[in-house]
């Protein structure tokens, strides 16, 4: 179920399968581009001199490569294995795995709609990729922020089925941010005031906010949320609630972002 049929762009990272190895290079089919064939010259297999190409790659191997040149008139694609670092390779592999998972989820959406997977992909793939950069990204947004997804796709007949599959299969990604509260009160019952202030912070969102003791008068405040903006807003509410509480009791408070 290929999603893209056009040629890749120069500089793009692609996933491919090595199909044939020669002394002068290797031929690869591109998994993301309808199995189009590409070529890796021996000089682009690894840094330094390559004596035996099979010491570096083998037939049937999945590889991540960078597109060097694309000649549409000849339908020719040249790749490089050596012009990628380990971090880029890991990110590309993870993105590929995510898209494979998204394809399987599309099949569930198709079943709900009474359509084939290919029909459903043709229907929902282009608008979702344009809006969310990838199919998996669309499933993540649908799971983490269903109201936003519904609003952005409210005129689409498939949106309800898509949301249901996303909620059942995707755990919303979480953003974690930290900060430090300094809360103090020298009054005889100051300890109670500090406890009340910290409780006020956690009450801002009991599921998202966690306060940890560091060493009086310092307390670490930890917030988890599906989106960075949401986490920041929750952190602001929590810290403001704590500082307001302690100051109302006659103490003092401040906050520093980690």
- Whether residue 236 is predicted with pLDDT greater than 90 in this model: the reply is yes
Residue ranges of the chain that CATH labels 3.30.70.1130: 175-257
pLDDT grade, residue 4 (50/70/90)?
A: low
* pLDDT value at residue 215: 85
Given CATH 3.30.70.1130, say whether it is the number of domain 175-257. Answer: yes
Q: Residue 163: its pLDDT value, please?
A: 96
The pLDDT of 184-198, averaged and rounded, is 94
Angle CA(100)–CA(103)–CA(104) in degrees, nearest 5?
A: 95
In angstroms, the CA 98 to CA 112 distance is 21
Check if the beta carbon of residue 86 is closer than 8 Å to that of residue 54: no
Rounded Cα–Cα distance for residues 19 and 81 (Å)? 15
* Confidence at residue 1, expressed as pLDDT on a 0 to 100 scale: 45
- 13-83: in CATH 2.40.50.140: yes
Q: Domain 87-169, what architecture?
A: Orthogonal Bundle (1.10)
Residue ranges, comma separated, of all CATH 2.40.50.140 domains in the chain are 13-83
pLDDT digits (tens, 9 = 90+) for 165-174: 999 999 877 7
Per residue in 64-79, pLDDT (tens digit) is 999 999 999 998 999 9
pTM above 0.75, yes or no: no
């Amino acid at each position: 179920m290929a999603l893209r049929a056009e040629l890749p762009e120069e500089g793009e990272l692609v996933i491919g399968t090595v199909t044939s190895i020669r002394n002068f290079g290797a031929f690869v089919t591109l998994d993301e581009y309808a199995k189009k064939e590409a070529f890796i010259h021996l000089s682009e297999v690894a840094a330094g001199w390559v004596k035996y190409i099979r010491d570096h790659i083998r037939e049937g191997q999945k590889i991540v490569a960078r597109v060097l040149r694309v000649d549409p008139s000849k339908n020719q694609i040249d790749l490089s294995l050596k012009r990628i670092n380990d971090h880029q390779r890991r990110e590309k592999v993870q993105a590929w795995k995510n898209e494979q998972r998204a394809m399987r989820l599309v099949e569930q959406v198709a079943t709900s709609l009474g359509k084939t997977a290919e029909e459903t992909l043709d229907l929902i793939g282009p608008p979702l990729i344009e809006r969310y950069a990838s199919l998996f990204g669309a499933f993540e947004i649908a799971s983490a922020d269903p109201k936003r997804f519904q609003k952005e796709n409210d005129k689409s007949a498939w949106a309800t089925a898509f949301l249901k599959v996303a909620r059942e299969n995707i755990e919303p990604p979480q953003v974690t941010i930290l900060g430090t509260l300094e809360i103090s009160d020298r009054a005889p019952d100051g300890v109670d005031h500090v406890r009340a202030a910290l409780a006020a912070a956690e009450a801002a969102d009991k599921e998202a906010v966690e306060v940890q003791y560091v060493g009086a008068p310092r307390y670490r405040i930890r917030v988890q949320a599906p989106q960075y903006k949401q986490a920041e807003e929750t952190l602001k509410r929590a810290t403001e609630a704590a500082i307001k509480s302690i100051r109302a009791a006659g103490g003092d408070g401040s906050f520093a972002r980690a």
